Amino acid sequence: MRRTRLLLALLLAPVLTGCFASAGSGGSAAKAESGSRLRVALAFPPTENLSPYGDDATVLSRLGVSEGLTALDGNGTATPALAASWRREDDRTWLFTLRQATFQDGTDVTPAAVAGALTHATEAQPAPAALSGVTLAAKPAGPTGVRITTATPDPVLPLRLSSPSLAVFAQKAYDRTGHVDPVGTATGPFEIRALDGTASAGLDRFDDHWGGLAQTPGIDVKFIADGAARTAALRTGQVDLAEAIPVAQAATLDRVTRRETATTRTTSLLLNTRSGPFADPGLRAAARRAVDTSALADGVYEGHADAGAGIYGPAVTWADGKRTRPAGRTAATAPDGARLTLATYDNRPELPETAQVLKQQLEKAGFRVELEVREYSRLESDALHGKFDAVVLARNTLVDTGDPVAVLASDFTCDGGYNLAQLCDKDVDRAVAKAEGVADLAGRQDAVMAAEAEILRTDAVVPLVHQRMVTGVAGSVRGALLDPYERTLVGPGTRR
């Protein structure tokens, strides 16, 4: 059976070259055997023991470890992954047909295993962002099918299932406490063999991957939070790929090594609407008026970003033409020395500098600001629990599902799982719920922008800049997967 699957996988290999693969992707098993291990530097170490239900999900997807039923192509369209095809049976029911595949523990990817994995995701606490506001049930349907039913119509379910947080793992990955262990239980072309806390990881090629043999025998990962150190590691030949190169370091790399990609990432100032000074809408308005976004784009980001226009930036190509001006904003109140704590993290080196400039702008407007900078793993929990008055956050607005509604539901609704602004506004919830129910693409986009206007009306978020991602890629590397959603970095065709 294993040999039959491997032969089938080799025939299917071109399908897996990656939604964002470069011309260097693809190739034979013979090339894979003679390749060298890739050395990769990532900015964000695991914060939740590699749980797929939080931010660690993108670590797993970027390293080619985990896969879901679907994936996203460069246009944001759902494409086959573990599901070879799907169809909508009625407004609340979809049938997904699985391809023949194997988990890294040697067990088969069966309808029961997939249904079980999705059920575990629905029971996770907090809920994965991709499931914010969504109730679904998955059940086996025959020898190759999984039937998924949602409580209300979900016209973008195939997009939702592409989320890294809804990756599928073998049954042994799940324990009774809700913990998920991805080591040796995923389905991707690379398997985690060693994990040294938040310092490093070792991955080997998974030889029974449904898409065929990867072209590198393995990946050695270093988690390097300091951006200058990541850049230096690439420049001195210690690593082959380095993500999130700081704009201040970009000029130190050769032009052929420096790759700039438009992303759907927006850096924003999130204001705590539940407690502290920004529970007052007038003070939120004063903070928004104090911010000069062009100074951030041109100064801090040295032209590698665009001034904030809204929650969605230029990489979401349809957004600007549909954007409406927020109506009914509260008038600004004089700060009169109001004290606040402004927090951010240093994994993205531009953020502390951004926060420092914001501190100056807010103090000029009359606030008294205390700045707190931590590594992200030490910041997230306190931010989620509203311990800060304001947070500077870089957020990929399409990372959770590829559906623009998802970030609104997760970040700005009463029940949102990533609501750092602690926002709970009935008009916002109503507008987001309306957008979630629209199936027509153009109509959904219109509803999304109407919801964006409702959120901006509250001044819970001040969009600062829309980022472009700079990745360091050594000249010897072929097939690096750079995409606007920041879900991929290495895949079967990545090699050196």
Say whether the peptide bond before residue 335 is cis (omega within 30 degrees of 0): no
pLDDT, position 127 = 83
Q: Which of 105-109, 143-147, 483-487 has the least mean pLDDT?
A: 483-487
207-235: pLDDT as tens digits: 999 999 999 999 999 999 999 999 999 99
pLDDT in tens, 53-83: 988 999 999 999 999 999 988 777 899 999 9
Of 300, 460, 377, 404, the closest CA to residue 54 belongs to 377
Q: What is the mean pLDDT of the chain?
A: 90
Q: Which helix (H) or strand (E) holds 96?
A: strand 93-98
Element (H, E) at 95: strand 93-98
User: Residue 95 corresponds to which tokens in the numbers above?
Assistant: 């049938």
Identify the CATH class of 263-469: alpha beta
Task: List all residues 6 or more positions away from 313 whose beta carbon is below 8 Å from its beta carbon.
Answer: 264, 265, 266, 306, 319, 397, 463, 466, 467
Spatial separation of the C-alpha atoms in residues 339 and 452, rounded to whole Å: 28
The per-residue DSSP string of 286-297 comes to HHHHH--HHHII
pLDDT confidence of residue 37:
97
Two structure tokens written together for 227: 């951006």
- What was the pLDDT predicted at 399? 66
What pLDDT shows up at residue 11? 34
Q: What is the model's pLDDT at position 427?
A: 98
- More reliable by pLDDT, 303 or 207: 207
Nearest Cα to Cα of residue 399 among 415, 418, 380: 418
CB 58 within 8 A of CB 166: no
Quick one: pLDDT at residue 333? 96
pLDDT tens-digit series, residues 256-276: 999 998 888 999 999 999 999
pTM, entire model: 0.74
Question: CA dihedral defined by 79, 80, 82, 88, rounded to 10 degrees?
Answer: 90
How is 352-411 classified by DSSP, letter by letter? HHHHHHHHHHHHHTT-EEEEEEE-HHHHHHHHHTT-SSEEEEEEETTTTTS-HHHHHHHH
For 16-54, what is each residue's pLDDT tens digit?
333 333 333 333 333 444 579 999 999 988 888 889 998
Q: What pLDDT score was predicted for residue 215?
A: 96
Say what percent of the chain tops pLDDT 70: 93
Given a cut of 50, whether residue 138 has pLDDT beyond it is yes
Q: What is the pLDDT of residue 77?
A: 84
Contacting residues for 55 by C-beta, under 8 A, at least 6 apart? 44, 47, 48, 376, 380
Residue of higher predicted confidence among 169 and 406:
169
pLDDT digits (tens, 9 = 90+) for 353-389: 999 999 999 999 999 999 999 999 899 999 999 999 9
The CATH code that applies to domain 66-177 is 3.90.76.10
Higher pLDDT, 288 or 398: 288
Domain 1-51+188-257+474-496: which topology?
D-Maltodextrin-Binding Protein; domain 2 (3.40.190)
Sequence spans of domains, the chain: 1-51+188-257+474-496, 66-177, 263-469
Structure confidence at residue 20 (pLDDT)? 35
Q: How far apart are CA 452 and CA 441, in angstroms?
A: 16
Asked if residue 173 has pLDDT above 70, the reply is: yes
Does 66-177 match 1-51+188-257+474-496 at the fold level?
A: no
